[in-house]
Amino acid sequence: MSGGADAGRGPRRVAVVLTTRGNYAKMKTSMAAIAAHPSLELVTIVGGGIVQERFGDYRPAIAADGFAIDATADFLVGDGATLAAQAESAGRATAQLGHLLLAHRADVLVAIADRYETLAIATAATCTNVAIAHLEGGEVSGSIDERIRHAVTKLAHLHLPATEDAALRIERMGEARARIVVVGTPSLDQLRAFDVDDRAALSAIAGGSGDALDLSKDFVVVSQHPVPTELVDAEAQIDATAAAVHAVGLPAIWLLPNMDAGGSGVEAAIGRIRARGLGVPTRFFPSLSLESYTRLLRHTRCLVGNSSSGIREGAFLGTPAVNVGSRQSGRQRGQNVVDVPCERAAIVEAMRRQLAHGRYESDPIYGNGRAGERICQAIATMPLALEKAITY
């Protein structure tokens, strides 16, 4: 390691790098537990889309929750919406995070899941002798995320998968079982912390643009991100989903996409939808607080798109979800998910099927909402020597 805690220097310094609103949703309870632990010190670094106004600058929300932001890594090139911008952004992230990890004397980096910048950040930790604790490794999905996730696994020293199925896959990749701790999905922790059934709280959701919606009545939620390996189809994929939502006819809350290659195509399609209208009342949000988004998931008649929230949080909440396309292919899912290709007719049929079914029973496939404390304890107690060897 970089010297530090294991060399008797004092508390182990744990760097958490937040680049999207989803990162923060995953890490909030873990960050609180790390900050309160006597053997750990939290170092909060923000960057990427989470600091940009166009994605909904999330720094005020993080500060309002009581977390001091120790550093900012402004690595995103443009909007990161092309392959070239994505590659350059990854390079800038590696360079900037290398400097910041050294400057803040980090002993451990928490690498979150499988976005492209996660691999860049993990590379920075590898090059600066900082141990890596990897969250949500071992899962199977589609697109570029699949390769990134497993690459980070081979760089990591401590593995914090969400399920036993994922843990077994990590072990089969040659990682020592003693370094694998099943913790569940940490974003579920917060779902236990507030009243998700409070439908009246939906009326307090502010911001966004487009039509005013009466959320006391039926609505659907759309959350669809570009797939970097399917750039040429990005606009058509959004158009197919939009046409399906129009055909079903319920008002829609539409969450704008993350900072991925292909984002420009998605934004072009959404721009056309905004200009001509979707044919149903629609409100667009660049981002939402976890509390607001969770309540929307709880009360929506159906979630449509390719966000992992339909699979993780959706299973826990019993939200009917229509998973569109390849982005989540292979990911372990509960009975609340119907998978369809990016085709209007298939999406319409699946939405109508889910609307007819209604809410599902809660499924604990991704944990019981107590992951944060498990993550904190694992980081505090596991030996994090840099050297590791394949186990087969």
Q: What is the pLDDT along the chain (392 residues), one digit of tens a residue?
A: 444 445 456 899 999 999 988 899 889 999 999 999 999 999 999 999 888 877 778 899 999 999 999 999 999 997 667 889 999 999 999 999 999 999 999 999 999 999 999 999 999 999 999 999 999 999 998 778 899 999 999 999 999 999 999 999 999 999 999 999 999 999 899 888 788 888 888 988 888 999 999 999 999 999 998 888 888 888 899 999 999 999 999 999 999 887 666 667 777 888 888 888 888 999 999 888 888 999 999 999 999 999 999 999 999 999 999 999 998 988 889 999 999 999 999 999 999 999 999 999 999 899 888 899 999 999 999 888 899 999 98
If one counts every other C-beta atom within 10 angstroms of the C-beta of residue 387, the result is: 5
CA pair distance 28, 190, nearest whole angstrom: 8
**What is the model's pTM?**
0.80
36 CB-contact burial (10 Å; exposed 0-12 / middle 13-18 / buried 19+): exposed
- β 209-210/282-285 pair status: antiparallel
Q: What angle do CA 321, 200, 360 make, to 5 degrees?
A: 25
Structure tokens at 199: 């439908």
251 CB-contact burial (10 Å; exposed 0-12 / middle 13-18 / buried 19+): buried
CA pair distance 311, 335, nearest whole angstrom: 9
Q: Taking Cα atoms as reference points, which of 102, 88, 93 lies closest to residue 73?
A: 93
Amino acid at 98: G
